[in-house]
Structure 1
Amino acid sequence: MRRKDMVHFYEFVDGNPLFKQFKVDDLLFTAYDCPIEGSPVDYWIKTNYFCYVFVGGGRWKTPHEEYVLKAGDAAFLKKGAHRVYKILNGDFCALLIMVPDEFIASVMKEECGMNHSAGTAAYTDSVIRLNLNKTLKDYFDTLLGYFSLENPPSKSLLTIKFKELIVNIATSGHNPLATGYFNKLNTDGKRSLKPIMEEHFMFNLKLKELAKLSGRSLATFNRDFYKIYNMTPAKWIKKRRVEYGKFLLETSDKNINEIALDIGFENTSHFIKCFREHYQHPPLRYKRMLEQQAVVA
Structure 2
Amino acid sequence: MPVRQTNNNAEIVFTCSEAVFYNTELIAEEHSIVRVLSGELKVIQANKTYVFGAGETHLFPRHRLATLITSEKDGLPYQAIIVKLTQDVLRDFYEQKKNQIAIVPKSEHIIPLPQSPLLDSFFSSMLPYFDLEYKLPQELSKLKIYEAVTVLQSLNKDIDNILSDFSEPHKINLVEFMERNYMFNIPIEKFGYLTGRSLTTFKRDFKKAFSTTPQKWLTEKRLERAYYQLTKERRKPIDVFYEVGFENLSHFSYAFKKQFGQSPTELTTARK
Measure the CA separation in 2 of the matches of 1:19 and 1:54. 14
Measure the CA separation in 2 of the matches of 1:194 and 1:164. 40
CA offsets per residue over residues 7-29 of structure 1, 9 Å max, x none? Answer: 9xxxx99xxxx643332xxx421
Q: Which of 15, 18, 21 matches 1:32?
A: 15
Which residue does the alignment assign to 2:253? Answer: 268
Q: Which of 41, 48, 51 matches 1:58?
A: 41
Measure the CA separation in 2 of the matches of 1:191 and 1:267. 32
Alignment of 1:238-249 (within 5 A): 238-249=219-230
List alignment gaps of at least 5 residues for structure 2.
Answer: none
Measure the CA separation in 1 of the matches of 2:81 and 2:210. 39
Residue type of the alignment partner of 1:51: V
Which residue does the alignment assign to 1:295? Answer: none
Which residue does the alignment assign to 1:252? Answer: 233
Q: Which of 103, 106, 112 matches 2:91?
A: 106
Which residue does the alignment assign to 1:205? Answer: 186
User: Would the alpha carbon gap of residues 197 and 145 (structure 1) be closer, same or farther in structure 2, given more than 3 Å must change?
Assistant: farther
Alignment of 1:1-297 (within 5 A): 19-23=5-9, 27-35=10-18, 37-44=19-26, 47-48=29-30, 49-77=32-60, 78-79=62-63, 80=65, 82-88=67-73, 89-100=75-86, 102-103=87-88, 106=91, 109-110=94-95, 112-113=97-98, 121=105, 124-125=108-109, 127-148=110-131, 153-169=136-152, 171-174=153-156, 176=158, 181-183=162-164, 185-190=165-170, 192=172, 197=178, 200-214=181-195, 216-225=197-206, 232-249=213-230, 251-256=232-237, 258-265=239-246, 266-274=251-259
After superposing the two structures, state which structure 1 stretch, 59-68 or 143-152, moved more.
143-152
CA offsets per residue over residues 239-274 of structure 1, 9 Å max, x none? Answer: 432342244235533234643443124322322443
- The TM-score normalised by the length of structure 2 is 0.71
Measure the CA separation in 2 of the matches of 1:223 and 1:116. 38
Measure the CA separation in 1 of the matches of 2:263 and 2:78. 39
Measure the CA separation in 1 of the matches of 2:238 and 2:134. 51
Measure the CA separation in 1 of the matches of 2:5 and 2:252. 34
User: Would the alpha carbon gap of residues 173 and 70 (structure 1) be closer, same or farther in structure 2, given more than 3 Å must change?
Assistant: closer
Tell me, what secondary structure is at the counterpart of 1:262?
coil
Contact in 1 for aligned 2:25/2:185 (Cα 8 Å): no
User: Would the alpha carbon gap of residues 151 and 242 (structure 1) be closer, same or farther in structure 2, given more than 3 Å must change?
Assistant: closer
Measure the CA separation in 2 of the matches of 1:195 and 1:115. 33
List alignment gaps of at least 5 residues for structure 1.
Answer: 1-6, 293-297
CA offsets per residue over residues 216-254 of structure 1, 9 Å max, x none? Answer: 421233345456666543344234323422442355332
Measure the CA separation in 1 of the matches of 2:157 and 2:260. 40
Measure the CA separation in 2 of the matches of 1:214 and 1:40. 28
Contact in 2 for aligned 1:275/1:283 (Cα 8 Å): no
Q: How many residues align?
A: 263
Residue type of the alignment partner of 1:96: I
Contact in 2 for aligned 1:47/1:99 (Cα 8 Å): no
Tell me, what secondary structure is at the counterpart of 2:79?
strand
After superposing the two structures, state which structure 1 stretch, 197-206 or 53-62, moved more.
197-206
RMSD over aligned CA atoms reads 4.2
Tell me, what secondary structure is at the counterpart of 1:47?
coil
Measure the CA separation in 1 of the matches of 2:11 and 2:232. 40
Contact in 1 for aligned 2:39/2:76 (Cα 8 Å): yes
Residue type of the alignment partner of 1:139: F
The Cα shift of 1:189 comes to 4.5
